[in-house]
Amino acid sequence: MRGAARYDGPMKVRVFALRRVGRRYTHHDQESILGELHLHSIMQGTTSHKVAQLRSREVRGSHGEDLLPPLYQPELVAIGADALLLRGFESTNGVGYVQEWRCVFEPSR
């Protein structure tokens, strides 16, 4: 299939983190971060865990850096015409907190 989009490629999104250490932001003017959304699994011992990461991509390479702490065990909570809502857990100093990401799709260039 020529010109078909790959299902496993990174998705460019603008992410609004809706919580800080588990608590919802009280204002609606929180900052957003533009990056590539990656969903994959990691192994810890013999257990597989789902992870969502918002990453930057190096211009001349395949590696990048995390723009937000990884979202562990992400679940799709809602989907709209141009955005989706993921809920999972992030870890700070060994403590897990509920986190939600509002992901707004960016047009491909």
User: pLDDT for 79-104, tens place per residue?
Assistant: 999 999 999 999 988 899 999 999 99
Tell whether 2 is covered by a domain: no
> What's residue 101's pLDDT?
96
Q: pTM of the entire structure?
A: 0.82
Q: Which domain holds residue 89?
A: 11-105
The three-state secondary structure class of 1 is: coil
Q: Say whether pLDDT at 109 is over 80.
A: no
Q: Say whether pLDDT at 78 is over 80.
A: yes
How big, in percent rounded to 5, are the helix, strand and coil portions of the chain?
A: 0, 60, 40
CATH of the domain at 72: 2.30.29
> What's residue 6's pLDDT?
62
Q: How far apart are CA 9 and CA 34, in angstroms?
A: 16
Tell whether 4 is covered by a domain: no
Q: Map tokens 């608590």 to a residue.
A: 23
Q: How far apart are CA 87 and CA 98, in angstroms?
A: 7
Higher-confidence position of 52 and 30: 52
> In whole numbers, what is the pLDDT of the chain averaged over residues?
86
